[in-house]
Structure 1
Amino acid sequence: MKGAFILTIAAFIVKILSAVYRVPYQNIVGDIGFYIYQQVYPIYGVGMILATSGFPVIISKLAAEDGTGKREYLAHRMQAALITLLIVGISLFCCFFFGASLIAQWMGDAQLTTLIKMTAFMFLLLPFLSISRGYFQSTGDMLPTATSQVVEQTVRVFIIMGAAIILTRQGYSLYDVGTGAIAGSFIGGTIGVGILLGYMLKRKMFSLLFMKGLSWKKFYTTAQIVLVHGAVFCLSGLVLILFQFVDSFSIYSILTSSGIEIEKAKALKGIFDRGQPLIQLGTVVASSFSLALVPIVTAAWIKGDEATIQIRTASALKITLVVAIGATMGLINIIKPTNIMLFANDQGSGVLSVLAIAILFSSLILICTGILQALGYVLVVVKYILLGLGIKIIGNYIGVSLLGTMGASLSTVIGLAVMATLFIRQLHKRVSLLATIKKILPNVCLAALAMTIVLQAWLFLFSFLGDGRIYSAILSLSSVILGACVYLLIILKSGCLTEEELAFFPFSSKLNRLNSNRK
């Protein structure tokens, strides 16, 4: 549990950094520069998900399942996994590096070729990040993984921002600036590998990789497990990245083929991409809570402790609903001043307000997929994710043609809504949840409605005081505080959450004084 806590804190820091830096980056490079970066970001995102949450989980499981007690057995598994991931990493590198020109053409923008080639280098780091993190996690030593993730992301953000400032001042093209930003991601990843190699040297792990005796049979068996199970475990973490992939391949090309001017289409895609950091920030709580919860549910499942599974799953869903509905409705209410505060103007506020609904459904998906995988429902997770992705693809090609970027927002929300509904239904078959949802949903909706009324009144009163970015910043931040207070007060007075569930929130002791469900 201590290890899980360390990883959860690290993941929280990484997600905050990953979401926050995009705002100043967009301010420096503008909507078109942001479009350029966001077009290739999903490729980087896939590599990082594979190296942080997919393959390391499987490798840690392989290393922990050393039932023979022999170091040789562990060594051969690690060797087989490393060879497998070297093949995967090099194959993906070749795919994106040598296929960069074709991929850029599919995206509708040939100038993205250099950026895609630079992104391809991330996959060469995949084997080393995955093996070292997986091995350390198998021993319960989470510090190397957590340290490497935080340092890697911090270095990456500093280089991205530095490159954006320096290159734009020196008059380089926005595509060159984007290439510099992607290079920052590679440098950050390389430093992360260096930190892990240092820990490996200190823990004398390298001897495992050079022990003789690995047979073809052992390699094939291990490779099969790493590839199949690793890909499946990655898929739930890749949902939002895959949706961004669909947007990269479809929105700009559909807009231009519909007759929209090239520069305007790039700007429209860049404005649409403003929603990505907002969604990321909105889902940080759910994803971090999922990371902390999965080990508890897994341990209870192994022990056959049905009571713990029921209690923890119901609590997780309740907390996720309360936080996600509050975050979603709060952002929708203040999307215009928030858009101006963060991105200097209110362009695309309607599109972003619809996209904000994704916070609710993606939060539910994150928590449900985490629990379902912990309970062994792996193939079901894959099936529903692929279904949701199919809806997103079809929705984009129909919606963007008819409604522009609003169509892309609607297809994202519909795809995620279908997935979330199916996941909750599947989880309910295993753990009774509908009674819990029916019990708290009216009170949560009442709290959201009250918050909406108060915020709209507040926005109306402020509308007489002026406009501008500073005004919007004051309005947005004051609205966050006011809306959160109103929403949380009604949640506490309605007794939606127990004293134990409130312990997951900051200042829980003070909140419990207002909680009508306090023991």
Structure 2
Amino acid sequence: MADSNLMRGTKVLTAATLASKILGFIYVVPFSALVGQTGLGLYSYGYTPYTILLSLATLGFPLAVSKFVSKYQSMGDYETGYRLFKSGLLVMSITGLLAFLLLFFMAPVITPLVLPNEQAGVNSYEDITFTIRMVSVALLIVPIMGMIRGYFQGSGQMMPTAVSQVIEQIVRICFILSAAFLIMNVGNGEIGLAVGFATFGAFIGGLAGLAVLLMYLFKSRTTIIGLAQNKHSKKPLPLKAMYKELIWYAVPLSIVGLAIPLFQLIDTMTINGALARIGMGEVSENFVGVLTQSAHKIVLIPMALATALSITLVPTITRAYTEGDQVKLQRLITQTFQLILFITLPAAVGLAVLSDPIFVALFSIEDLAIGGETLQYYGPITLLFSLFSVTAAILQGINRQMLAITALLSGLILKLALNHLLLVSMGPNGAILATYIGFIVAIGVTVWGIGKYTSFSYQKIVQRACILLGFSLIMAAVVWFITMGLRLSFPLENRFNSFVLSGVGALSGAIVYAYLTYRSGLAEVVLGKRFRKPD
């Protein structure tokens, strides 16, 4: 029954994470219509350092608490996890305050790092500083919210995280769009002011998410306290020992959780300067907006499943690993790899094939030259993002946190070493290539580690990956021929035609891929007996 409840909760959290990611993408479309790609670039100038500081403020505690609580509750010790949770709320309050103060007062220092020459850019130093300071306020409450979510997840209760996540996103988006619309169409129309207030939506959404979590906490307080009073041993684990173990979990989780933001930070800090050096300064801020916001948000949709799996995978794998259930551990790893490849491989190929109509349909024909090409080359990286997220989570679940850090650092060093060089030699696409190289190396390390420390054989996964890649390429060929034919009647020159091209292309691709995986029996292997083909 417990496993059934856990799986049900995992599915709920997966669905909520997917919904949250989709909402997080959808709002970018009207938001970009209000502030343009330059405004999206300004938004990323504030949000990227905020994400870094948020991770440092939480120190990976929320997910680490999830793992810690899951471990001790599996041994019947509810008191230890509850004591850690109570003290952790205080710790997160303090670190959140310190992170807020640091980001708020360091904003004028960060600004010239992201835009070396104010005169060469569209956004002013004043606008960038204002944006960073507005988003910094969210650091006061988001770490606390993460701690509560981590405790619920470690207890096998995914619903509080799921509901609060969706509510937080809805409220945040409503505030972002309302503020941007009022400032751009009713107020003075200043992009800097509109984007600054938009980033403040992180705080407003956080308040809503925290309110939901506190409601669940209040409703569950009797059960939580009752279980915590069941002493596991006469001598409780000291807080010092608890935090020593927690930090051992948390620091690697914090660092690995920064993978994508750190790669984006390198781009944010180097793109403007490198492109200005080769005479492309006039497109650099638009490219930053497309790469870190428009195209990136599209890429994150297929990755939403991987994100949800990485959140729920750590406590689940930790439980199997702690109990010494090798059969269950191997099954979990196999199912995870198969599901990730089944979803993200065709998505990666599809984004590359339909990049132009998708970008025009969602954003604008004016930015197609840079947006379509960026999405074409950047879209397939959703596969690498997903694989790294999941493989790093597996390593953390089997207590190989340091290997996950080694993998990330290897990728980051390559990204940092190559980014400026490739930007200067190749133009904007150099940043994308450097990201590919960095993530491929990082994934190589995590995959090797999983094989070594779990005795996991990749033979079956490689075989199925090759089959799925073949199906995805067949799908891509069909989609390409259909969209090329449709362009005779629906040329790529306005948003309506682009919706037709991308919609028909995506639907035809989904039908082809579904048919191939169903008839081959692969859908049944990955998704279960409900997708068994008739004899």
1:309-348, aligned counterparts within 5 Å? Answer: 309-345=329-365, 346-348=368-370
1:2-21, aligned counterparts within 5 Å? Answer: 2-21=8-27
Partner of 1:242: 262
Deviation at 1:376, TM superposition (A): 1.7
Deviation at 1:225, TM superposition (A): 4.2
Q: Does 1:85 align with 2:104?
A: no
Q: Could you say what the CA RMSD is over the residues aligned between the two structures, in angstroms? A: 2.9
Normalising by structure 1, we get a TM-score of 0.87
What is the DSSP-based 3-state SS (H/G/I as helix, E as strand, rest coil) of the residue aligned with 1:376?
coil
Partner of 1:196: 213
Deviation at 1:374, TM superposition (A): 1.5
Partner of 2:439: 416
Letter in 1 for 2:270: S
Is the 1:12–1:288 Cα contact (8 Å) retained in structure 2? yes
Q: Does 1:502 align with 2:527?
A: yes
Deviation at 1:62, TM superposition (A): 4.8
Is the 1:43–1:119 Cα contact (8 Å) retained in structure 2? no
Deviation at 1:245, TM superposition (A): 1.7
Q: Does 1:456 align with 2:476?
A: no
Q: Determine which of 106, 109, 112 is the counterpart of 1:102.
A: 109
Letter in 2 for 1:419: A
Partner of 1:447: 471
Greater shift in the superposed pair: 220-229 or 267-276: 220-229
Q: Does 1:186 align with 2:208?
A: no
Partner of 2:402: 379
Encode CA deviations 1:97-120: one digit per residue, 9 max, x unaligned: 111100111111523111111122
Is the 1:4–1:295 Cα contact (8 Å) retained in structure 2? no
Partner of 2:64: 58
1:66-465, aligned counterparts within 5 Å? Answer: 77-108=84-115, 110-111=125-126, 112-169=128-185, 170-204=187-221, 218=238, 220-261=240-281, 263-273=282-292, 274-345=294-365, 346-348=368-370, 349-429=372-452, 430-465=454-489
Q: Where does the alignment leave 5 or more consecutive residues of structure 1 unmatched?
A: 209-216
Is the 1:40–1:248 Cα contact (8 Å) retained in structure 2? no
Separation in structure 2 between the aligned mates of residue 260 and residue 357 of structure 1, nearest angstrom: 25
Normalising by structure 2, we get a TM-score of 0.85
Q: Assess, with a 3 A threshold, how the Cα gap between structure 1 residues 143 and 443 changes in structure 2: closer, same or farther.
A: closer
Greater shift in the superposed pair: 167-176 or 49-58: 49-58
Deviation at 1:332, TM superposition (A): 0.6
Is the 1:151–1:192 Cα contact (8 Å) retained in structure 2? yes
Is the 2:52–2:261 Cα contact (8 Å) retained in structure 1? yes
Letter in 1 for 2:283: K
Q: Assess, with a 3 A threshold, how the Cα gap between structure 1 residues 294 and 164 changes in structure 2: closer, same or farther.
A: same
Separation in structure 2 between the aligned mates of residue 182 and residue 194 of structure 1, nearest angstrom: 20
Partner of 1:214: none
The sequence identity of aligned pairs, in percent, is 27
Encode CA deviations 1:454-488: one digit per residue, 9 max, x unaligned: 12211221221132221111010100011122223
Q: Determine which of 497, 502, 509 is the counterpart of 1:471.
A: 497
Is the 1:56–1:133 Cα contact (8 Å) retained in structure 2? yes
Separation in structure 1 between the aligned mates of residue 278 and residue 457 of structure 2, nearest angstrom: 45
Deviation at 1:416, TM superposition (A): 1.2
Letter in 2 for 1:124: L
Q: Assess, with a 3 A threshold, how the Cα gap between structure 1 residues 351 and 177 changes in structure 2: closer, same or farther.
A: same
Q: Assess, with a 3 A threshold, how the Cα gap between structure 1 residues 62 and 441 changes in structure 2: closer, same or farther.
A: closer
Q: Where does the alignment leave 5 or more consecutive residues of structure 2 unmatched?
A: 1-5, 119-124, 227-236
Encode CA deviations 1:148-178: one digit per residue, 9 max, x unaligned: 2221111001111111211111233211111
Q: Assess, with a 3 A threshold, how the Cα gap between structure 1 residues 420 and 464 changes in structure 2: closer, same or farther.
A: same
Is the 1:51–1:130 Cα contact (8 Å) retained in structure 2? no
Is the 1:313–1:431 Cα contact (8 Å) retained in structure 2? no
Letter in 2 for 1:347: A
Partner of 2:28: 22
Q: Assess, with a 3 A threshold, how the Cα gap between structure 1 residues 493 and 139 changes in structure 2: closer, same or farther.
A: closer
What is the DSSP-based 3-state SS (H/G/I as helix, E as strand, rest coil) of the residue aligned with 2:369?
coil
Q: Assess, with a 3 A threshold, how the Cα gap between structure 1 residues 145 and 165 changes in structure 2: closer, same or farther.
A: same
Separation in structure 2 between the aligned mates of residue 12 and residue 37 of structure 1, nearest angstrom: 23
What is the DSSP-based 3-state SS (H/G/I as helix, E as strand, rest coil) of the residue aligned with 1:99?
helix
Letter in 1 for 2:106: G
Is the 2:419–2:431 Cα contact (8 Å) retained in structure 1? yes
What is the DSSP-based 3-state SS (H/G/I as helix, E as strand, rest coil) of the residue aligned with 1:433?
coil
Q: Determine which of 485, 488, 493 is the counterpart of 2:514.
A: 488
Letter in 1 for 2:511: C
Greater shift in the superposed pair: 87-96 or 325-334: 87-96
Deviation at 1:68, TM superposition (A): 10
Greater shift in the superposed pair: 334-343 or 143-152: 143-152
Is the 1:392–1:415 Cα contact (8 Å) retained in structure 2? yes
What is the DSSP-based 3-state SS (H/G/I as helix, E as strand, rest coil) of the residue aligned with 1:193?
helix
Greater shift in the superposed pair: 403-412 or 48-57: 48-57
Q: Assess, with a 3 A threshold, how the Cα gap between structure 1 residues 448 and 251 changes in structure 2: closer, same or farther.
A: same
Greater shift in the superposed pair: 140-149 or 335-344: 140-149
1:25-36, aligned counterparts within 5 Å? Answer: 25-36=31-42
What is the DSSP-based 3-state SS (H/G/I as helix, E as strand, rest coil) of the residue aligned with 1:393?
helix
Is the 2:388–2:443 Cα contact (8 Å) retained in structure 1? yes
Separation in structure 2 between the aligned mates of residue 77 and residue 448 of structure 1, nearest angstrom: 47
Partner of 2:231: none
What is the DSSP-based 3-state SS (H/G/I as helix, E as strand, rest coil) of the residue aligned with 2:280?
coil
Separation in structure 1 between the aligned mates of residue 210 and residue 352 of structure 2, nearest angstrom: 40
Deviation at 1:249, TM superposition (A): 1.5
What is the DSSP-based 3-state SS (H/G/I as helix, E as strand, rest coil) of the residue aligned with 1:392?
helix
Is the 1:338–1:472 Cα contact (8 Å) retained in structure 2? yes
Deviation at 1:347, TM superposition (A): 2.2
Is the 2:53–2:99 Cα contact (8 Å) retained in structure 1? no
Q: Assess, with a 3 A threshold, how the Cα gap between structure 1 residues 439 and 406 changes in structure 2: closer, same or farther.
A: same
Q: Assess, with a 3 A threshold, how the Cα gap between structure 1 residues 301 and 68 changes in structure 2: closer, same or farther.
A: closer
What is the DSSP-based 3-state SS (H/G/I as helix, E as strand, rest coil) of the residue aligned with 1:255?
helix
Is the 1:81–1:223 Cα contact (8 Å) retained in structure 2? no
Greater shift in the superposed pair: 218-227 or 324-333: 218-227
Is the 2:35–2:195 Cα contact (8 Å) retained in structure 1? no
